Amino acid sequence: MKNILFIGCGHMGSALLSAWIKEKNNKITVVDPLKYKHIKKKYKIDAFESANLIQNVNIFDIVVLAVTPQLVDKVLEKYKLLRFKKTCVIVSIIAGKKINILKKAIPNVSQMIRVMPNMPALVGESVSFLVPSRNTSNKNKNNIYKLFSQVGIVFWLKKEEEIDIATAISGSGPGYIFYLINALEEAANELGLNKKINQRIILQTLIGSLKLIQHSKKSSKKLANEIAIKGGTTEAGIKVLKKNNINKILSQTLKSAYKKAIFLSKK
């Protein structure tokens, strides 16, 4: 049996919770100031408004930090003096908060793993990057690897700094994709078909293209070239993407997110 405590259970925390709760060997407890009532009712688990309502933190094997970066320092003040068990591991999914900073905030727990998951965890299709503190036991590493494998694919990173790159690409990635889907929908609406149909055909075009590339041995570049035959409609469309330097825009997008992740990790 693994006893798991979630500190914060918003979008990302609840995506993980909803997957991990399906495993009978996981006993989950949540602290979240507003959502605790809803969580308690929905999942029939212990959920509290605040840390001081937990009777005994010594039972937890895994503590998941899933509050926002802006709040974490203030939130962790309440956990600073709590006596967690020696084998407990903290799993932080908080963007930009370094292991050494978190260790200072919760000095009673020495084992820690930083994770950068992404929102498709909700449907079991997440990408998660993991980086452990030096003294994290193999048992804890394996347990956390298994938990995140339940919501998608998992990669270990060698250096903690690399997590800022992962944050810019896959952590924030679904946000870019949804933004682009919305832009495509709006562009399609201008052409005349009705909104609902446009939503469906764009989604299906994306799903179809993703499945195709997943099953193909060809690169994305080759597949694009094969569809954009000379003198055709796709070529005409791609010319506009090239003229407006879509590659530069996307490069700047990732660099901007990366810079922000570095900035947050220096605070």
Ligand X SMILES: NC(=O)c1ccc[n+]([C@@H]2O[C@H](COP(=O)([O-])OP(=O)(O)OC[C@H]3O[C@@H](n4cnc5c(N)ncnc54)[C@H](OP(=O)(O)O)[C@@H]3O)[C@@H](O)[C@H]2O)c1
CB under 6 A: which stretch of 18-26, 93-101, 177-185, 253-261 binds ligand X? 93-101
Among 4, 9, 16, 19, the residue binding ligand X under the rule CB under 6 A is 9
3-state secondary structure of 126: strand
Among 5, 94, 130, 151, the residue binding ligand X under the rule CB under 6 A is 94
Among 17, 39, 66, 89, the residue binding ligand X under the rule CB under 6 A is 66
- Residue 97 or 132 having the CB closest to ligand X: 97
Q: Is 248 exposed, middle or buried (0-12, 13-18, 19+ CB in 10 A)?
A: exposed
Q: What strands, in cross-sheet order, belong to the sheet with 2-7? A: 46-48, 26-31, 2-7, 62-65, 89-92, 111-116, 126-132, 152-156
How far, in Å, CA of 14 to CA of 121, rounded? 10
**In angstroms, how far is the first alpha carbon of the chain from the final one?**
37
171-210 binders of ligand X (CB under 6 A): 171
How far, in Å, CA of 83 to CA of 78, rounded? 12
Task: Give the per-residue contact string, 12-31, with ligand X (x = CB under 6 A; - = no).
Answer: xx-----------------x
Please, which residues bridge with residue 128 across strands?
Answer: 154
Task: Determine, following the binding rule CB under 6 A, whether residue 68 of this chain makes contact with ligand X.
Answer: yes
Q: Are 13 and 66 in contact (CB under 8 A)?
A: yes
108-147 binders of ligand X (CB under 6 A): 116-119
Task: Determine, following the binding rule CB under 6 A, whether residue 80 of this chain makes contact with ligand X.
Answer: no
**Residue 228 beta carbon to ligand X: minimum distance, rounded to whole angstroms:** 33
Closest residue to ligand X in the complex (CB): 10
3-state secondary structure of 31: strand
**Residue 6 beta carbon to ligand X: minimum distance, rounded to whole angstroms:** 8
**Residue 119 beta carbon to ligand X: minimum distance, rounded to whole angstroms:** 4
How far, in Å, CA of 165 to CA of 158, rounded? 13
3-state secondary structure of 258: helix
Q: Comparing C-alpha atoms, which of 164, 3, 174 is closest to residue 94?
A: 164
How far, in Å, CA of 86 to CA of 93, rounded? 21
- Entry field: residues in the chain: 267
- Residue 50 or 251 having the CB closest to ligand X: 50
**Residue 177 beta carbon to ligand X: minimum distance, rounded to whole angstroms:** 12
**Residue 214 beta carbon to ligand X: minimum distance, rounded to whole angstroms:** 22
Residue count, binding to ligand X (CB under 6 A): 26
CB under 6 A: which stretch of 82-90, 91-99, 227-235, 251-259 binds ligand X? 91-99
CB under 6 A: which stretch of 69-77, 149-157, 212-220, 237-245 binds ligand X? 69-77
Q: Comparing C-alpha atoms, which of 97, 132, 80 is closest to residue 111?
A: 132
Q: Which two tokens stand for residue 50?
A: 């605040």
Q: Which amino acid is residue 62, in one-letter code?
A: I
Task: Determine, following the binding rule CB under 6 A, whether residue 75 of this chain makes contact with ligand X.
Answer: yes
**Residue 229 beta carbon to ligand X: minimum distance, rounded to whole angstroms:** 38
Contact positions toward ligand X, by CB under 6 A? 7-13, 31-35, 66-69, 71, 75, 93-95, 116-119, 171
